[in-house]
Homo-oligomer: A and B are copies of this chain.
Amino acid sequence: MMTPTQVTVSAAEWEIMRVVWANEAVTSRKVIDTLEDKMEWKESTIKTLIGRLVEKDALQTVKEGRKYIYIALISEEDTVKSYSEDILARVCNKDNGKVVRNLMEDATLSQKDIEELIELLQEKAVTAPEEVACDCAVGQCDCHLV
């Protein structure tokens, strides 16, 4: 799915998106039933969040009778990806490895996941530099202080 200008989804909105992503297309009733208890949100809170997601073009609406069916306009993958990119942008390139390690430590991975990740690492190894160059502004990382 092409996400033109990646929309930013807040933490609360993300919960809504998960329901939409999981179901391809949902009614607001579905979202409310799914989240009302789990999140301890009032029905109107959920309505507000859905409204905001439509407003920011994360959800598309299709009229179904007099109700709406909501469909995701951004993919989970892209959304997760832009979140990841954000993390990497916040640290020195040299520390990218550490960030990946941290995430990996906390992640629950299957044998197959591990296998695939090792493969990807091996691919990256083909072109990986001996040492990563720092790209930070002077003074903003200890690679080159003033």
Contact = CB atoms under 8 A, between A and B. Distances in A.
Contacts of A138: 34
A19 interface: yes
A139 to B, nearest CB: 4
A82 to B, nearest CB: 10
B120 A104 contact: yes
A101 interface: yes
A62 interface: no
Contact of A113 (B33, B97, B106): B97
Nearest to A140: B18
A129 B111 contact: yes
Copies of the chain in the assembly = 2
Given A109-B97, A114-B125, A87 B90 contact: no
A61 interface: no
A34 B145 CA distance: 10
Given A128-B114, A138-B34, A105 B120 contact: yes
Interface in A54-83: 76-77, 80-81, 83
Contacts of A137: 34-35, 38
Interface in A104-131: 104-114, 116-118, 120-122, 124-125, 128-131
Interface of A: 11, 14-15, 18-19, 21-23, 30, 33-35, 38, 76-77, 80-81, 83-88, 90-91, 93-114, 116-118, 120-122, 124-125, 128-132, 136-142, 145-146
